[in-house]
Chains A and B, each alone.
Chain A
Amino acid sequence: MGQPVLQVKNLEVEFVTDDGIVRAVNDISFDLYPGETLGIVGESGSGKSVTNLTVLGLIPQPPGRVVSGEALFDEHDLLELSHRQFQTIRGKRIAMIFQDPMTALNPFLSIQEQLIEVSMLHLGHTRAQAIDHAVELLELVGIPAAASRITEYPHQFSGGMRQRVMIAMALSCEPDILIADEPTTALDVTIQAQILDLLKAMQDKRGMAIIFITHDLGVVASICDRVMVMYGGRKVEQADTKTLFASARHPYTLGLLDSAPRWDQPQQKRLQAIEGQPPDMMNLPAGCAFAPRCDWKTDECSAAVPELVSIGSETTESHVVACIHADQIQQARSASSEEVPHA
């Protein structure tokens, strides 16, 4: 796959609050290659968004603090850049789409004002050039009558249309990396399908890499090439999408896969919920953060944080998992799948 466009190494981020220190991101490393879509999955508070906001230099410091790690992009460590240096990268080479298109757009400015700002700043367009460019972008993302609608304000657009405007804005400078933080969570399924198709088409055309943050496994299955699963601020498993869905090894990943109901299959008797509650990030348990909710828990689980181990030699893609019982789990799963043939 060539050289990664972004390399995050051993990233650690914490927040200092009145009640104590929240270790939001612990020892996260990942590579992102050109043209691929990396999914990041996890519950609320698992550190998905903080990881990416840190990469974009958008964590307010204080209360946030990058304890260690680096994020290599184009021979720069993004974490070392000054505010001014960052402005030449953020929005131009790395762009972001947020979850809520209503709050991400400024309600006081017309769509035109918000769109031309990007290209005037980064591409040195004149106002007239920038407006032409903006209209082209809106047409590209499928907004009908773009030339006349561009002077309207965000409240005159529907949720799906606003998200298209956000995507147009993000694509404005043809970025190398697009970070999409739950871009379709607030949208209806038919609109979600349109937006996912649009992102895929834009990626095919431009070859950009996408980091797709979501908690919806259905969306992961339909758009991501590789998936990283986070729990308690750590990476617990990573594999290519097919491998992850077919032979996940981490009990948390398995729990997530089992607890999601499917509309295309007859209902099972009961959903296999993961018992217990997500961890308190203020005082994470010693050892594996998932241990208190895990069926496979033994005493060793609480002794030390499990290392990420590479498994699965059958595929060329790397499959890493952080669980000391991964082998047992695999044996148990293959045994039980022999008993009950896959429906």
Chain B
Amino acid sequence: MPNSENTILSVNDLKVHFPGKRKFGQPQRWIRAVDGINFDVKEGETLGLVGESGCGKSTTARAILNLIHRAKVQGTIHLNGTRIDNLSDRAMISHRRTVQMVFQDPFASLNPRMMVGNIIREPMANYKLFGDKTGRRLEVIRLMELVGVSPQYMNRYPHEFSGGQRQRIGIARALAVQPKLIICDEAVSALDVSIQAQVINLLMDLQQKLGVSYVFIAHDLAVVRHIAHRVGVMYLGKIVELADSKELYDSPKHPYTTALLSAAPVPDPLVDVRANRITLTGEVPSPDIEYEGCSFADRCPQVLGHCASTMPQLSGTDHQVSCLLYEDDNVDKSDPPNSNSAEVFV
């Protein structure tokens, strides 16, 4: 579905099912890491993906990069108008220039035996960009200045840098091939608050200057609100709600989003978070269960009678939500129906 021109990434009904451990005499179980998700990312836009561990955020990232092996992958992924999900590793190489990744752990994602200048230069050399060695050297200098690491440190090794600086080097490496889309998988989670703010500012500045798009995956709801234009909330391999950042945080619709937000701490002792916390019972169930209805039904404080048997669809135009409470009318409903068993701690 290569639609409007400025769409960089289009994910359609993506499913990634990993084979589970096979027990003797039992049928093969499938871990439904990603179970039918749809979203688009436009040029210069940041799409945030939030959710708890195991909800499929990182698997989605790896699927976009076509890095999933030994799993059933269904659905389509269009990158810059070209379908990439069915490409071989070799054919994928030419598209890897369009999409790059910044990883969570700035200690593990840089080769400790390479000087940082070479780490940034390598992707350029792979694609024979910027003419010759001298041209690439100049580009490395330009990129290091762009991300705020002094180019005089080009010949140092990763261990000589702090976590924040290493993350800047990782960003410079991602930028080296002039990608249109950068996937940031928990890219600032490992950093201290003051350094985290520096890197977030850097990512936002780069977007302004270069017009690059981001898929920003994080579990920190505050960071995602700050950086993302639109936010998708994932639960058990599905996007349960997708809306503009302000809209999603100010008037969340899906009961899971509401619960997630109510659990997030606020750095202000005058805000009594506990007063309106919705405490979810239990934990996220195993992703190898195939649900007939809504997978959140057995933990949902607003569950309806037919939730466990009817599969909700992500619907709506700007503010999409996948919940039977909103199924009847995709027109915005101002007040949600009465909660029937909400556990509200006062």
Contact = CB atoms under 8 A, between A and B. Distances in A.
Contact of A245 (B162, B261, B268, B279): B268
Contact of B223 (A160, A261, A278): A261
Given A189-B221, A241-B269, A263-B266, 17 more contacts: A188-B52, A189-B264, A190-B259, A215-B192, A217-B267, A221-B271, A245-B267, A245-B269, A260-B193, A261-B200, A262-B268, A263-B261, A264-B249, A267-B245, A271-B226, A274-B194, A274-B197
| Chain B binding surface SS class | helix
B205 to A, nearest CB: 9
Contacts of B330: none
Contacts of A273: 194-195, 197-198, 200-201
B201 to A, nearest CB: 6
Closest 6 A/B residue pairs (Cβ): A218-B265, A273-B197, A259-B197, A217-B267, A193-B263, A274-B194
Contacts of B265: 189, 192-193, 196, 216, 218-219, 221-222
Contacts of B5: none
Interface residues of B, number: 45
B264 A188 contact: no
Interface of B: 52-53, 162-165, 192-198, 200-201, 204, 219, 221-226, 245-246, 249, 259-261, 263-271, 273-274, 277, 279-280, 283, 345
Nearest to B198: A273
B53 A188 contact: yes
Residues of A in contact with B, size category: 35 or more
20 contacts: A159-B53, A189-B221, A189-B260, A193-B265, A196-B265, A215-B193, A217-B193, A217-B267, A219-B265, A222-B266, A242-B270, A260-B197, A262-B225, A262-B266, A263-B264, A267-B226, A270-B204, A277-B164, A277-B165, A278-B195
Contacts of A272: 197
Contact of A275 (B52, B198, B264, B345): B198
Interface in A119-170: 158-161
B269 A259 contact: no
Nearest to A227: B269
Given A242-B270, A259-B197, A267-B225, A192 B263 contact: yes
A192 B264 CA distance: 9
Given A189-B219, A217-B267, A256-B194, A271 B201 contact: yes
